[in-house]
Structure 1
Amino acid sequence: MNPTIKDVAKRANVSIATVSRILNDKPGFSEKTKRKVLKTIEELGYYPNAIARGLVNKKTQTIGVLIPTVSNLFSSEILNGIEDYANEEGVSVIVCNTASDGMKTINYLEVLAEKQVDGLIIVSESIKEGFYKAITEMGVPVVLVSTISFQYPIPYVKVDDKHAAFSATNYLIKKGHTKIAMITGNKNDPIAGIPRIEGYKSALVSNGIPVQEDYIFYSDGFAHQYGIEGMEELLRRKLDFTAVFASSDELAVAAMSVAYKNGIKIPDELSIIGYDNTKLAEMIIPSLTTVSQPLYDMGLKAATMLFSIKEKEDMIESRIMPHEIIERETVKTI
């Protein structure tokens, strides 16, 4: 039979309340008593029951993370940042793969409410009315990562996507490219689609280069398959472009593979720049020049903010994280 908090209190000759205060790092005991109780816990092999402890302090020491996919390098970097901070705080993380499916997201929010999680981190999801209603009913702190809500007052951690896309396109222009195609996500996506498209167009206009819609391929997302479709379509259009800005690393790597199959040498005949700076960018040959989002740090910062809200510290402000161009081997100066 597993030892209980009552067994610990009896062996240490203290009250159950004292053991509980020590376990939850509350005041009201001497250092000597603390050492005695901790030694007794070790001797008995007592492990506090998280559910029982939650009934006492109204906390379950768990947080929920909702994310569209857990299978790509973008997601894994953010999750690593979240989990590293949570583990330091002794908190467990429940990861929910929503697949950007509205009903699935609502179902997960209901499950997390039943689990009585202490907070939520939502990654790369648009916050719809139904989501916000469910979150509000849960009454827990929420932080967004790599997304933003213009309608609801939820703190976020992200880069300035328009500025980052401007930087990528402007980098190509400074390398001598004036005929620049773009493979991007959904043109109706207000979170990452529209800002990156606007950044690309703004860089062209700022440098006196006309925007040509034929040079832009709009897809439904940022995954590898859309990069294949995008590059194949751009080649079918027989456009005279010397560079491609792909608004994710997966899109860029897919474009590189299509170029290779068509005998197009990178960067000698075509330059490509990506977006994210996932490990994929380093692994591909030639290695991919890309815009770096500090994905791990974004996850870490989101978790830090969430715990600050939980502890009712100072007002939490949203964070715009820095981006930078990581120069590798896929862009040629002309």
Structure 2
Amino acid sequence: MTLLSLRSLAVSVSIQDVADRANVSISTVSRVLNRRNIVNEETRKRVESAISDLGYSPNVFARGLMLRKSHILGLVLPDLHGEFYSEVIRGANLRARELGYNLMISSVVAKDDGSELMAAVGDHGLVDGLAVMISEVNARTRATLEKIKIPLVVLDGDVEGVKHDSVVIDQRTGVVALLRHLIEDCQARRIVFVGGLETNIDTIERLEAYREVTAEAGLEVAAGDVYHLDYEYDTAFELGVKKVREWARRRAFVFAANDEMAAGIIDAALAAGLSTPDDLPVVGFDDTRVATMTRPRLTTVRVPMSSMGAAAIDLLCQRVENPKRPAVKLSLETELVVRESCGAAAVVTKN
């Protein structure tokens, strides 16, 4: 612990102390803290120097009482496990700090009946706005979101009948680019789909695009070519142990709807004495770090996870400042990233 930290613990530094040190009024200190642009640069630097010297940490609750804003935003995710969610959090947290907000993070289980989401959201009297990533849209989710009366941004989905801004990923374009690459460049004639739960928003969109592209190319999709798991490595590995030999015998390509499941299938093939891509080509989705840790490296679709979090905070702050503006739906692009797991040379193609 530094000397400054010890002094901060021993002495409660007030906004008046900062004002005295910088030789300005309390209102000027408040303007600097709230990122107001009406303070000239020399004064701003003097106030920031006083804040640093004194180790002053503003009390967000006291500020909230004065400003009727807490400068806290809420972020609710289906899970906090895995790189996908950690990247969303990272992007959201960085942007929130840049804009002068703190971030409160909660999670709910994927198969929530609405009560857990409501518990995570709470009354949210402490937050100025809320960003919620939903994994499925149902009547209970919709009813829960309808109860939220503060600015709301929905990530990775759109809830009809609920007033909100949204940030979505262009899933279809990413899947189309990936599968056309397999069909046109890798001569795939059978593609197996391994997705998440049937009710999962991402799974629904990726499966629809899969069916569209395979039908367009005249590829048969048998009843046993579509599997629904839980986006986890372990369950994909278990499925792979049972199926990789059959898939290899049928000369199938495997499209796993995220990189973790793709890695599980590659490892199951290796355990069965099969080679990727020679015996069983495998591709994924998201382009998490897992994609560069598999051997061979994974062909996948890059999803701007961090940008999704940052964009949600941008929309939320805009809504806090202007509650009456029209709703905004922001769609983020994906990139096809070709590596060795499908048997093609590495390239990155922006969709």
TM over 0.5: yes
For 2:145 and 2:336, how far apart are their aligned partners in 1?
Answer: 36
Summarize deviations over 1:46-72 as a string: whole Å, max 9, x none: 432111001011111111111122120
| Structure 1 residue 160: Cα displacement | 2.6
Tell whether the 8 Å contact from 1:272 to 1:288 is kept in structure 2 after alignment: yes
Tell whether the 8 Å contact from 1:183 to 1:230 is kept in structure 2 after alignment: no
Residue of structure 1 equivalent to 2:127: 117
Tell whether the 8 Å contact from 1:126 to 1:149 is kept in structure 2 after alignment: no
| Structure 1 residue 10: Cα displacement | 6.4
Relative distance call for 1:226 and 1:166 in structure 2 (3 A) is farther
Equivalences for residues 1-334 of structure 1 within 5 A: 1-8=11-18, 16-17=26-27, 19-25=29-35, 41=51, 44-100=54-110, 101-102=112-113, 103-110=115-122, 113-114=124-125, 116-174=126-184, 175-189=186-200, 191-219=201-229, 221-235=230-244, 240-312=250-322, 315-332=326-343
What's the Cα RMSD here?
2.9
TM-score (norm 1): 0.86
**Code of the aligned partner of 1:284:** T
Relative distance call for 1:300 and 1:171 in structure 2 (3 A) is same
Relative distance call for 1:17 and 1:218 in structure 2 (3 A) is closer
Summarize deviations over 1:210-246 as a string: whole Å, max 9, x none: 2212222222x21213312432343476661331111
Count of aligned pairs: 329
For 2:37 and 2:270, how far apart are their aligned partners in 1?
Answer: 66
For 1:227 and 1:34, how far apart are their aligned partners in 2?
Answer: 55
**Code of the aligned partner of 1:89:** L
| Structure 1 residue 173: Cα displacement | 0.9
Which deviates further from its counterpart, 40-49 or 152-161? 40-49
Which deviates further from its counterpart, 258-267 or 87-96? 87-96
Summarize deviations over 1:295-334 as a string: whole Å, max 9, x none: 122222222111121221853521121122101110126x
SS at match of 1:192: helix
**Code of the aligned partner of 1:140:** I
SS at match of 2:124: helix
Relative distance call for 1:285 and 1:183 in structure 2 (3 A) is same
| Structure 1 residue 188: Cα displacement | 3.4
Tell whether the 8 Å contact from 2:259 to 2:290 is kept in structure 1 after alignment: yes
For 2:49 and 2:181, how far apart are their aligned partners in 1?
Answer: 61
Seq. identity, %: 28
Give 5+ residue unaligned stretches, structure 2.
Answer: 1-10, 345-351
